[in-house]
Structure 1
Amino acid sequence: MKPQFQKLLKQSGVKGNVTRVKKVSGGSINDAYLVETDAQRFFMKLNEASPARFFALEAKGLALIKSTNTMDVPDVIGYSDKEGESFLLLEWVNGHRTEHTDKLLGERLAAMHQTSGEQHGYSEATFIGTLQQPNSWYDSWLSYYRDCRLKTQLQIGIKRNVIHAQRREKLERLLVRLDRWIPNNISPAYLHGDLWGGNWIVGEHGIPYFIDPSFLFGDRHFDIAFTEVFSGFSTSFYEAYKATFPLADYYKDCKPLYQLFYLLVHLNLFGEVYGSNVDRILRYYVGD
């Protein structure tokens, strides 16, 4: 095993000899490893079956977040999307949560969300999990969210036979009415894009770091809505965020619609276990 990792480190410009390789938790998509040399530690993801530009896009997303000078992210040491040899090499980040960690996370996410791009969307297709996410540039957040996000998941769900009959009909009706709840002309903030509790970690001195982004520019409340789907964010996180950047009044009306995207992604990836949550949101907005 060591010669393979030695080769990839050398390819990334890292000097020194690999002394230890240990498999660690790193999500369900990739194999993840702690790689130690005689000088330092690294985190490496491997995925021999990854699609084109899979790790390049992750590296680019980390770089964009880092460019805001608000949130910490691991430094990218090297990556490749070469078939059969795709990997991402990051600095090793390890620390312990402190009483200030969650407050810092909220404040720094709010600061990142105050950094704006020129349009909504992104310059190229990305990934949400293993699903490809088509993108383009839009002046309208409403149009981007409807056409690139919800319609894409509808089409995937039809092909995978998890969106059909009443579920399909209700989702199609919702898309026509979306302008009742989703804002149109808002600032395109820098977004993580896949912000659940497993996609932030703690470094030295309790500093929070973002990992695994599915980057886009869009409504900041899209990020916040996903933090509320699963666990991983505390009351002090939300209090600190709101104190730094209060949530807009419309958020309460569109939050379930933003969560719908992520629930559709999970429905398309993992099946009917997420179907009842999708149906609940559809009933709320379009009725029985």
Structure 2
Amino acid sequence: MNKFIEQALHAAGDFSRLKQVKQTFGGSINESFFVETNERKYFIKYHTDAPDRFFELEAKGLRLIRETNSVSVPEVLAYSDEKNNAFLVMDWVEGRKSQDTEAKLGDRIAKMHQTFGNQHGFPDDTFIGVLPQPNGLFLSWLEYYRDSRLSAQMTQGIEQNSITGNRRLRMEKLLLNLEKWIPDDVEPSYLHGDLWGGNWLVGAGGNPYVVDPSFLYGDRHFELAFTELFGGYSGDFYQAYVERFPLRDDYDDIKDLYQLYYLLVHLNIFGESYGPRVDAILKRYVGVY
């Protein structure tokens, strides 16, 4: 493994002596390491069978977030998507949470959401976990969310038999009537795209950072709904967010529909334990059969 680490460090321009390598934990997709050399400290992710452009797209998402001058991201120093040797090298981020860390995070995510693209979606197909995530650029948020997000996960679920029977019928009915709830004319905010509680961390001085994006342009309420799905964000986060960028009046009406996408992803990756939550949302909006 040290040979691989050295190759990654050389790609980042560091040829100094390797002092320490320690495996870290927290993700289920990549192997990850804390690495220290005579020059600096690094976080290196490694994937033995990464899909094409896997780390390139992660690096691109981090760069786009950095360009908003809002929430901090680690600096990407090198990456490779070479078969059997895919890696991403970033600065090591470490710090202790301060009293205002989560308020800063909420304010800075809101600031990121106040940066807008010209269309919804993303020009490149990306990944959510290791699931392919088809994209494309759309003038209509409704069309993008229906066709590239919900429909794509439904197709995946049908293929692997996680969406069948009444669940499939309800999904089909929901997609036919989605314009009743999902807005069409919202501005396309810069979105992290995978902002669960494990994808933010604390750096020096209590400064919050976000990591592991699955970047897109879209309705910011889609992102906020996901932050509420599995927890990991405090009241300070939400209070600071709405002080900078108040929510639309329809947020409570559409929150479950935005969480549905991520529940479908988890259903397709992890299995039927997420099925009852998917079914409950479908029943809320389209009734029972």
Q: Shorter-chain TM-score category? A: over 0.9
CA distance, structure 2, for counterparts of residue 209 and residue 262 of structure 1:
22
CA distance, structure 2, for counterparts of residue 260 and residue 4 of structure 1:
39
Contact 1:125–1:132 (CA<8 Å) still a contact in 2? yes
Q: What is the aligned partner in structure 2 of residue 38 from structure 1?
A: 38
CA deviations over 1:31-87 (Å, ceiling 9, x no partner): 000011012110000001110000000000000000000110000000000001100
Instruction: Quote how far apart the aligned CAs of 1:17 are.
Output: 1.6
Q: What is the aligned partner in structure 2 of residue 84 from structure 1?
A: 84
- Other structure's SS at 2:142 match: helix
Identity %: 53
Gaps of 5+ in 2: none
Residues 1:68 and 2:68 are matched in the alignment: yes
Q: What is the aligned partner in structure 1 of residue 190 from structure 2?
A: 190
CA deviations over 1:170-213 (Å, ceiling 9, x no partner): 00000011000000011000000001000000000110001000
Q: What is the aligned partner in structure 2 of residue 28 from structure 1?
A: 28
Instruction: Quote how far apart the aligned CAs of 1:4 are.
Output: 2.3
Deviates more, 1:21-30 or 1:70-79: 21-30
Letter in 2 for 1:275: G
CA distance, structure 1, for counterparts of residue 253 and residue 7 of structure 2:
52
Residues 1:52 and 2:36 are matched in the alignment: no
CA deviations over 1:135-178 (Å, ceiling 9, x no partner): 11100000000000000000000011000000000000000110
Instruction: Quote how far apart the aligned CAs of 1:12 are.
Output: 2.2
Q: What is the aligned partner in structure 1 of residue 158 from structure 2?
A: 158
CA distance, structure 2, for counterparts of residue 11 and residue 111 of structure 1:
33
Instruction: Quote how far apart the aligned CAs of 1:214 are.
Output: 0.3
Q: What is the aligned partner in structure 1 of residue 217 from structure 2?
A: 217
Ranges of 4+ aligned residues in structure 1 off by more than 6 Å: none
CA distance, structure 2, for counterparts of residue 216 and residue 4 of structure 1:
31
What are the within-5 Å matches in structure 2 for residues 124-139 of structure 1?
Answer: 124-139=124-139
Residues 1:169 and 2:184 are matched in the alignment: no
Q: What is the aligned partner in structure 1 of residue 249 from structure 2?
A: 249
- Other structure's SS at 2:57 match: helix
Instruction: Quote how far apart the aligned CAs of 1:263 are.
Output: 0.1
Q: What is the aligned partner in structure 2 of residue 8 from structure 1?
A: 8
Instruction: Quote how far apart the aligned CAs of 1:19 are.
Output: 1.5
Instruction: Quote how far apart the aligned CAs of 1:5 are.
Output: 1.0
Contact 1:46–1:87 (CA<8 Å) still a contact in 2? yes
CA distance, structure 1, for counterparts of residue 2 and residue 130 of structure 2:
28
- Other structure's SS at 1:20 match: strand
Contact 2:146–2:175 (CA<8 Å) still a contact in 1? yes
- Other structure's SS at 2:185 match: coil
Gaps of 5+ in 1: none
CA distance, structure 2, for counterparts of residue 254 and residue 269 of structure 1:
24
Letter in 2 for 1:277: R
Instruction: Quote how far apart the aligned CAs of 1:3 are.
Output: 2.6
CA distance, structure 1, for counterparts of residue 151 and residue 280 of structure 2:
18
Q: What is the aligned partner in structure 2 of residue 146 from structure 1?
A: 146
Instruction: Quote how far apart the aligned CAs of 1:11 are.
Output: 2.0
CA distance, structure 2, for counterparts of residue 231 and residue 250 of structure 1:
21
CA distance, structure 2, for counterparts of residue 200 and residue 85 of structure 1:
26
C-alpha distance 177-147 of structure 1, shift in aligned 2 (>3 A) = same
User: How many residues in Structure 1 have an aligned counterpart in Structure 2?
Assistant: 288
CA deviations over 1:258-279 (Å, ceiling 9, x no partner): 0000000000000000000000
Instruction: Quote how far apart the aligned CAs of 1:231 are.
Output: 1.5
Contact 1:6–1:17 (CA<8 Å) still a contact in 2? no
Q: TM-score, normalised by structure 1?
A: 0.99
The alignment yields a C-alpha RMSD, in angstroms, of 0.7
Residues 1:119 and 2:119 are matched in the alignment: yes
Letter in 1 for 2:210: F
Contact 1:2–1:20 (CA<8 Å) still a contact in 2? no
Letter in 1 for 2:184: N
Deviates more, 1:9-18 or 1:137-146: 9-18
- Other structure's SS at 1:228 match: helix
- Other structure's SS at 2:177 match: helix
- Other structure's SS at 2:33 match: strand
